[in-house]
Amino acid sequence: MNRFPTEWLRLREPFDHAARSTALIETLLDILPASRPLRILELAAGLGSGMRFLAPLLPTPQHWTMIDHDPALLASIGQPPTNKITLETLEFDLRELDKLNFSTDLVSTQALLDLVSDDWLESLVNRLADQSIPILAALTVDGRVRWSPEDPKDAEIQQAFRAHQTSDRGFGPSVGTRATLELERLLSARNYTIIRKQADWSIAPAFARILKELVDGTAEAAMEACSNITTTKTVTGWHRRRRAAIASGDLSLQVGHLDLLALPSN
């Protein structure tokens, strides 16, 4: 499985929090238990960004179980926001989802589902539906990207980038930008009520550091996937122009994400 650098996770956290839907959480409050501590299972917890966003919006007390395959990330989560919130960390390989204890009131995750396979999504849905557990799945990329100003090669580069997103990230061929809609389809078939909201990053020219990371990452992925979609020369030229636009303070970016809340029928 891929390991995500701590620096990247810290860099993206404020943009993640600014993008996430609070309306979904207001809906979620109506079905959560109020007579005992709330139990949340966070899949692919990383540095705990999901908990830091969600925990202040939920009733307390809360107990979080933070799941990740990377012990270094889990060790860096830090303390919960208040003493009414407790957490435990569990190093666990999510490819073995059937072995994970799903005794929880809510499954939460962010920026995970586009990395997993169709089979993994189906396994997740089966585990949720068998125990009537709601899920809040945030910040799943959906393929919408808008660079400003536009470049003649944007569409070609993004096509190559999306092709790269379907590569194997350790779970099998990735579902990529289909992830949220596929999860919605599977959960709807198990009588879940689905609410979906856009949760887009909006990155202004002043945020040059994250723009550089995104331009570099897009170019690297496009280069790896370029065989029948684009050429090395095209990617190199696009990358050079985009880095120049960052340096001159002209580049901004919107990246499309979806947040999904799925509630069981009973």
User: CA 121 to CA 187: how far, in whole Å?
Assistant: 10
pLDDT at 147: 98
Give the DSSP per-residue string, 207-222.
Answer: -HHHHHHHHHHHHHHH
Amino acid code (one letter) for 130: D
* DSSP-based three-state secondary structure for 249: coil
Which residues of the chain carry a pLDDT beneath 50? Answer: 1
pLDDT at 1: 43
C-alpha distances in angstroms, 160 versus 31, 34, 140, 153, 208? 42, 48, 19, 11, 23
C-alpha distances in angstroms, 42 versus 46, 67, 166? 9, 6, 24
Question: What are the tens digits of pLDDT across the range 54-98?
Answer: 999 999 999 999 999 999 999 999 888 889 999 999 999 999 999
pLDDT at 5: 84
Which structure tokens are listed for 181?
Answer: 């809609």
| 58 HSE (CA, 13 A, CB side) | 31
User: CA 13 to CA 48: how far, in whole Å?
Assistant: 10
42 close to 67: Cβ distance less than 8 angstroms: yes
User: CA 105 to CA 264: how far, in whole Å?
Assistant: 11
C-alpha distances in angstroms, 178 versus 140, 183, 189, 191? 9, 9, 17, 20
Kindly state the DSSP code that residue 26 receives in the 8-state scheme: H
C-alpha distances in angstroms, 264 versus 24, 74, 135, 189, 261? 15, 30, 9, 11, 10
Q: Is 183 exposed, middle or buried (0-12, 13-18, 19+ CB in 10 A)?
A: buried
Residue located via tokens 């536009």: 150
Beta carbons within 8 Å of 53's beta carbon, 6+ residues apart: 16, 17, 20, 110
Domain architecture of the chain: domains with CATH: 6-263 (3.40.50.150)
pLDDT at 3: 52
For the chain, how big is the Rg over CA atoms in Å?
19
23 close to 138: Cβ distance less than 8 angstroms: no
* Cβ atoms within 10 Å, residue 91: 14
pLDDT at 179: 97
User: CA 136 to CA 193: how far, in whole Å?
Assistant: 12
